[in-house]
Amino acid sequence: MEGLPDALIGEIVKRIESTSDLSSLSLVSKRLYKIEAEHRHSIRIGRNLPPATDAIISLCSRFHNLLNVDINYSGWTQGHGNQLDNHGLHILSSYCLSLSDITLSFCSYIDDTGLGYLAFCKKLMTLRLNSAKRITSSGLLAVAVGCKNLSAIHLINCNKISGTFEWLKYLGSDGSLEELVVKNCERISQFSLLLFGPGWMKLQKFVFEVNNLYNIFKPHDPSYVSNYQYCYEFCCESLKELSLRRIVTVEEIGLRSLLGKCKSLEKLCLHFILGLTDSDMITPAQNCSNLRSISLQLEPLFCEGPEGRVFRTPLTDESLKALALGCRMLQVVELTMFACEPAYPEIGFSQEGLVILFQSCPIRDLVLCGANIFDDEGMKALSSAQFLQTLELMDCIHITDAGMRLLADSPSLVNLTLRQCNGFSDVGVGAVVCARKLDSLVVEGCGRVSRKAVLGAAKSVRYERDYPGYGHLRRSSLSILQD
């Protein structure tokens, strides 16, 4: 390599992804040591790199072109030595002027003062905070004001962020944020996020998840006035990815209002939404012709319908028919029916509704969990799906060997995952693997399928005798509180 120009060696170094390989390369010669340092754009710092302050000075002095820094103290204890603190972030922001992406995970020694130093990183575009227990709204506001190029914020398990949310208002008025992810932050409610205001216009990805259901029966939006929804008149037509989990909403209050406004939506995840109805699904299905991916995780609760008050999952075939008619580009589908008993109807969908969806859309990847309404007749529809490449069946208890044999005729299937399905045996799985050249086969918790039947059946095979499965898990608090 001595005859190669530095620029060419630099291009080679850029293509080496393993940190250990890069470190080994730098030991070969002083020339490679220098070139590797110039082209190292990403590092990860954690509990195995003490003393923290000395380490960050050394790293920043050598890798002055860093773009991405991941500081992760997951699993840290006092025995690992001191963590990187506010002074360490000051050093990082002073040395690494090109920093564009930083992640702080389980950083117990960093508070608003340290986070404020990131305001000197004028090229910062992405900030991720995971379990940053000392960070408050003040620290976020300092970053929002100082980093004009900020386009993505991820907040996970950050429980001290509360108050007037000036950082959110500021970012909304600035309008530069394209990605906002908020997961399990106790003091950030769905109504707080409405303060984002004009910022919704440019936002392309929005994720909001909560662990526990709060104010379950009377969700309170302090800015909501009946028949006067001024605070819900924002535009979010640039939103391409929307994910909501465990929000509680009634009528048009809260983030549920987003479902009727996202005309550019390509990916939609709705997981255990209390208050969800067919009309909530029909509206985006009619307006979002570019929808390519949908994930629905549902559990039974008391629903009002023509037949009176019934205990079932909230969506029915009306939602499936709307998706089949309006979303002709739908390629990725997950339908999970959580904790539905097979003894009596608890699933709002019928097998006929599922078949309509499978036959109307060019589905490439399908996950079907807990569908006790799905049997061998449904498998006949799947076997004729022209584009289906990846299929996962979990807790689908009525599929037998006859249904699996039908799957052997699937024209495009290359990846098959079977979990907690006891209706078929080695005979049915054997028919599929004999007829298909599978790239991957996963069998977990299927009591009538043996290890012998799957060994060598695909390029990649994983077999486990046991798997918990959704059907064996206790009903969640959503169903219990509605009972």
Q: Residue 41: is its pLDDT beyond 90?
A: no
- Would you state the pLDDT for residue 478? 35
Give the closest residue to 210 by CA, choosing from 159, 259, 164, 168: 159
Q: Residue 432: is its pLDDT beyond 80?
A: yes
CATH code: domain 1-40 is 1.20.1280
Phi, psi torsion values for 273, nearest 5 degrees: -90, 120
Q: Residue 271: is its pLDDT beyond 80?
A: yes
CATH class, range 324-483: alpha beta
For residue 107, what are the CA distances in angstroms to 84, 93, 133, 158, 445? 7, 16, 8, 11, 38
Q: Residue 229: is its pLDDT beyond 80?
A: no
Query: How is residue 300 written in tokens?
Result: 């039974």
Q: Are strands 308-312 and 390-394 parallel, antiparallel or unpaired?
A: unpaired
Over residues 471-475, the mean pLDDT reads: 42
For residue 400, what are the CA distances in angstroms to 16, 372, 425? 47, 12, 8
Lowest-confidence range among 200-214, 315-329, 376-390? 200-214
Q: Residue 375: is its pLDDT beyond 90?
A: yes
CATH 3.80.10.10 residue ranges of the chain are: 324-483
Residue with tokens 């526990």: 212
Share of the chain above pLDDT 70, in %: 83
- Would you state the pLDDT for residue 480? 32
Over residues 340-363, the mean pLDDT reads: 89
Give the closest residue to 399 by CA, choosing from 462, 354, 365, 464: 354
CATH 1.20.1280 residue ranges of the chain are: 1-40
Burial profile 238-271: b = 16 or more Cβ within 10 angstroms, e = fewer: bbbbbbbbbbbbeeebbbbbbbbbbebbbbbbbb
Share of the chain above pLDDT 90, in %: 60
Q: Residue 112: is its pLDDT beyond 50?
A: yes
Model pTM?
0.88
- Would you state the pLDDT for residue 302? 85
Lowest-confidence range among 127-136, 192-201, 315-324, 355-364? 192-201
Residues 191 and 189: their CA atoms lie apart, in Å, by: 5
pLDDT digits (tens, 9 = 90+) for 298-351: 999 888 777 778 889 999 999 999 999 999 999 999 999 988 887 666 899 999
Q: 130 with 104: CB under 8 angstroms? A: yes
Residues 418 and 387: their CA atoms lie apart, in Å, by: 19
User: Mean pLDDT, the chain, as a whole number?
Assistant: 86
Helix (H, G, I), strand (E, B) or coil at 287: helix
Beta-carbon contacts of 480 under 8 Å, excluding residues fewer than 6 positions away, are none
For residue 53, what are the CA distances in angstroms to 58, 89, 373? 9, 9, 59
Q: For residue 173, what is the DSSP state?
A: H
Residues 196 and 178: their CA atoms lie apart, in Å, by: 12
Q: Which residues pair with 270 in a beta bridge?
A: 244, 296
- Would you state the pLDDT for residue 87? 95
pLDDT digits (tens, 9 = 90+) for 57-79: 888 887 888 899 999 999 998 88
Q: Residue 219: is its pLDDT beyond 70?
A: no
